[in-house]
Amino acid sequence: MLEKFEDLCGQIVTNIEVIDGDRDNEIIFTLKNGEKYKLYHASDCCESVEIEDVCGDWNDLIDTPILLAEEVEHESDTTPEGCEHKEYEDSYTWTFYKLATVKGYVTVRWYGESNGYYSESVDWCKTK
């Protein structure tokens, strides 16, 4: 079982499914051994966390050992430049997931905002 996202290193991914729901986003990774894992955020009342950008080609990660699996997070309590401050939004989090194989790189950027009380983190877990 892969405890954390970084444990994808050395694994072979056979399928990647991106689910872009109204309020919830998920990325499901199927491994060569049949196990499935997902990156997701379970939405709550007064926050928003979603996939904001994907750079790279998902196909570069398929059927080739993962050489890099890294999570980088940045939090701020300042309204991002160029964004209008919204009432009850005082916390902002960017979470980057970087993946690489010999074929190429993919970086996924998640963006979360809330009043500071709710979680803006992205979760990693095994699915059924």
pLDDT in tens, 16-41: 999 986 666 899 999 999 999 999 98
Residue 64 burial class via C-beta count within 10 angstroms: exposed 0-12, middle 13-18, buried 19 and up: middle
Average pLDDT value for residue range 5-14: 98
Asked whether residue 69 carries a pLDDT value surpassing 70, the answer given is yes
Short-list 19, 2, 5, CA closest to 68 = 5
Asked whether residue 60 carries a pLDDT value surpassing 90, the answer given is yes
pTM for the model stands at 0.86
Q: 77 or 3: whose pLDDT is higher? A: 3
- pLDDT range class, residue 97, cuts 50, 70, 90: very high
Average pLDDT value for residue range 91-109: 94
User: What are the residue ranges spanned by the domains of the chain?
Assistant: 5-123
pLDDT for residue 79: 59
Residue 48 burial class via C-beta count within 10 angstroms: exposed 0-12, middle 13-18, buried 19 and up: middle
SS3 label, residue 68: strand
- Which residues lie closer than 8 Å to 77 by C-beta, 6 or more apart? 90, 91, 92, 116
pLDDT for residue 78: 63
Tell me the C-alpha to C-alpha distance, in Å, between residue 82 and each of 79, 85, 123: 8, 9, 28
Extract the tokens encoding 89: 């939004």
